[in-house]
């Protein structure tokens, strides 16, 4: 039990001007600052780090193709015992936490740094255009499917067709998430929003409008994991990682087995719950990747927070907003807080802060268990972790 993996440090990079990195920041010193801050709050230093997990889209083609090597060098980590550069899209960091769980538990390494940084807004690097239509992309790109929004729009239309969810269902999610962002001083968009604001916003890809889509921002973050035994001497309240799971099914939305049912999340969360010995009914809050509002709707159903097709009732009447029955995406999400391209690390950071009681104005009282689920690609990959502030 002494090697029970825990999260002991978290940090997210400050931004200004609606999600732009501070002057003097680049993608490496941003990650250094996040790493140092997350280590410092636990009372650790870079010298304690013996495992590193990173993913990102920067520096490619070029040194960014081998990010674990580059960050080991840049941060001066001496001969790490474990490296992970798995990139399965924005879910990657939740998957890294699951892998770190196994490595720490097995004694391969003691202190893991999970790290992410992105300057996509400042560098206007988001554009996915101009790439060759390779492999299975031949069909999507020749058809002019806007990526990734068009793929999520197809899933949304299919979900609406099968289960009677509506644009109002999706708007409930956008509005609740914005209300949480209003309580997060680091959120890029904090002004209150109404259902009508969402429904009347500029259409992008039917049925998704502007506020159904995540932000494009800079940003970065760090998560530090170690053993419960080591955490006894550290400064923060340890948050237990109790279970994890991951899966993947496709690259292009046309080959998603069932566009109305996020089976990768169902598979991944089943394993996480079983390992944790806690199920969806035990979860007091959820951090669900919100690249688009439909991502959240599909994920909550797949994770068993409600039955398949019943997400429309789960979110109705702002049930997931501040003061509602079920707190969800309490940092303001990718929809209103930040979305630097790969958002998954922020799910872990926020759940940790909430479970510790460190979430400031947005703190939810009485929390014990949280589920984090990251989605990558176009509903392509999924990774789940179950976190708790109580081991037993």
Partner 1 sequence: MSYDKPVPAIDPDSAPYWEGAKKGRLMIQRCNATGQTFLYSRQLVPGVVESEVEWIEASGRGTIYSYTVARRPAGQAFADMAPYVIVSVELAEGARVMSNLVTDDPDSVAIGQPVEVVFDKVSDELTIPKFRRI
Interface residue with partner 1 among 24, 61, 129, 323 (CB under 8 A) is: 129
The yes or no reply on residue 155 touching partner 1 (CB under 8 A) is yes
The yes or no reply on residue 194 touching partner 1 (CB under 8 A) is no
The yes or no reply on residue 153 touching partner 1 (CB under 8 A) is yes
**Residue 87 C-beta: closest distance to partner 1, Å:** 22
The yes or no reply on residue 139 touching partner 1 (CB under 8 A) is yes
The yes or no reply on residue 39 touching partner 1 (CB under 8 A) is no
Task: Give Cα separations from 241 to 231, 295, 340, 352, 391 (angstroms).
Answer: 13, 24, 25, 10, 9
- Indicate the residue among 27 and 378 with the shorter CB distance to partner 1: 378
The yes or no reply on residue 158 touching partner 1 (CB under 8 A) is yes
The yes or no reply on residue 141 touching partner 1 (CB under 8 A) is yes
Kind plus residue range of the DSSP H or E element containing 246: strand 239-248
Interatomic CA distance for residues 251 and 145, integer angstroms: 14
CA 156 to chain centre: 20
Interface residue with partner 1 among 73, 102, 206, 358 (CB under 8 A) is: 206
Asked if residues 55 and 96 have their Cβ atoms less than 8 Å apart, the reply is yes
Measuring CA to CA, which residue among 71, 68, 62, 61 is closest to residue 27? 71
**Residue 326 C-beta: closest distance to partner 1, Å:** 29
**Residue 164 C-beta: closest distance to partner 1, Å:** 13
DSSP, collapsed to helix, strand or coil, labels residue 185 as coil
- Indicate the residue among 260 and 296 with the shorter CB distance to partner 1: 260
Interface residue with partner 1 among 134, 232, 233, 392 (CB under 8 A) is: 134
Interface residue with partner 1 among 133, 274, 307, 390 (CB under 8 A) is: 133
Q: Which stretch binds partner 1 (CB under 8 A): 131-139, 230-238, 323-331, 371-379?
A: 131-139
The yes or no reply on residue 198 touching partner 1 (CB under 8 A) is no
Interface residue with partner 1 among 1, 62, 79, 142 (CB under 8 A) is: 142
- Computed from CA positions of residues 43, 283, 89, 177, in that sequence, does the dihedral angle turn out positive or negative? negative
- Indicate the residue among 23 and 129 with the shorter CB distance to partner 1: 129
Interface residue with partner 1 among 35, 103, 104, 154 (CB under 8 A) is: 154
Interatomic CA distance for residues 14 and 35, integer angstroms: 13
**Residue 130 C-beta: closest distance to partner 1, Å:** 8
Which residues are within 8 A (CB) of 252 and not within 5 positions of it... i.e. 6 or more apart?
136, 137, 139, 140, 151, 378
Which residues are within 8 A (CB) of 239 and not within 5 positions of it... i.e. 6 or more apart?
6, 7, 8, 351, 352, 355, 356, 387, 388, 389
**Residue 129 C-beta: closest distance to partner 1, Å:** 4
Residues 237 to 266: which contact partner 1 by CB under 8 A?
Answer: 252-255, 259
Count of residues that interact with partner 1, criterion CB under 8 A: 36
Burial code of 110-131, b = ≥16 C-beta within 10 A, e = fewer? Answer: bbbbbbbbbbbbbeebeeeeee
**Residue 79 C-beta: closest distance to partner 1, Å:** 41
Interatomic CA distance for residues 378 and 373, integer angstroms: 15
Given the rule CB under 8 A, which residues bind partner 1? Answer: 127, 129-130, 132-136, 138-147, 150, 153-155, 157-158, 161, 202-207, 252-255, 259
């Amino acid at each position: 039990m002494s090697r029970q993996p825990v999260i002991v440090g978290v940090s997210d990079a400050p931004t200004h001007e609606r999600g732009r990195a501070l002057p003097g920041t680049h993608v490496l010193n941003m990650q250094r600052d996040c790493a140092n801050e997350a280590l410092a709050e636990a009372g650790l230093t870079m010298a304690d780090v013996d495992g590193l997990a990173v993913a990102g889209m920067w520096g490619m083609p070029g040194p960014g193709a081998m990010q674990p090597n580059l960050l080991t060098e840049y941060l001066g980590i001496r001969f790490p015992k474990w490296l992970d550069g798995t990139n399965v899209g924005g879910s990657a960091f939740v998957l890294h936490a699951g892998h770190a769980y196994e490595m720490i538990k097995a004694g391969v390494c003691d202190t893991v740094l999970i790290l992410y940084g992105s300057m996509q807004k400042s560098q206007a690097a988001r554009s996915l255009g101009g790439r060759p239509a390779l492999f299975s992309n031949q069909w999507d790109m020749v058809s002019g499917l806007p990526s990734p929004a068009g793929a999520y729009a197809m899933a949304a239309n299919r979900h609406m067709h099968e289960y009677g969810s509506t644009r109002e269902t999706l708007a409930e999610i956008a509005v609740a998430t914005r209300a949480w962002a209003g309580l997060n001083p680091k959120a890029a968009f904090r002004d209150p929003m109404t259902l009508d604001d969402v429904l009347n916003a500029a259409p992008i890809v039917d049925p998704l409008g502007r506020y159904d889509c995540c932000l494009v921002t800079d940003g970065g973050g760090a998560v530090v994991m170690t053993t419960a035994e080591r955490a006894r001497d550290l400064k923060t309240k340890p948050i237990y990682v109790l279970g994890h799971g991951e899966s993947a099914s496709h690259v292009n939305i046309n080959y998603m087995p069932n566009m109305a049912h996020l089976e990768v999340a169902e598979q991944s969360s089943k394993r996480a719950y079983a390992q944790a010995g806690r199920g969806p009914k035990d979860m007091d809050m959820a951090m669900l990747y919100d690249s688009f509002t439909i991502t959240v709707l599909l994920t909550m159903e797949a994770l068993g927070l409600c039955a398949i097709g019943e997400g429309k009732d789960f979110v109705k009447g702002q049930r997931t907003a501040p003061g509602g029955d079920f707190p969800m995406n309490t940092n303001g999400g990718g929809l209103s807080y930040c979305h630097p391209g790969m958002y998954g690390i922020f799910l872990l950071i926020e759940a940790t802060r909430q479970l510790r009681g460190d979430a400031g104005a947005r703190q939810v009282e009485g929390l014990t268990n949280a589920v984090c689920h990251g989605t990558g690609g176009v509903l392509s990959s999924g990774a789940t972790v179950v976190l708790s502030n109580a081991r037993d």
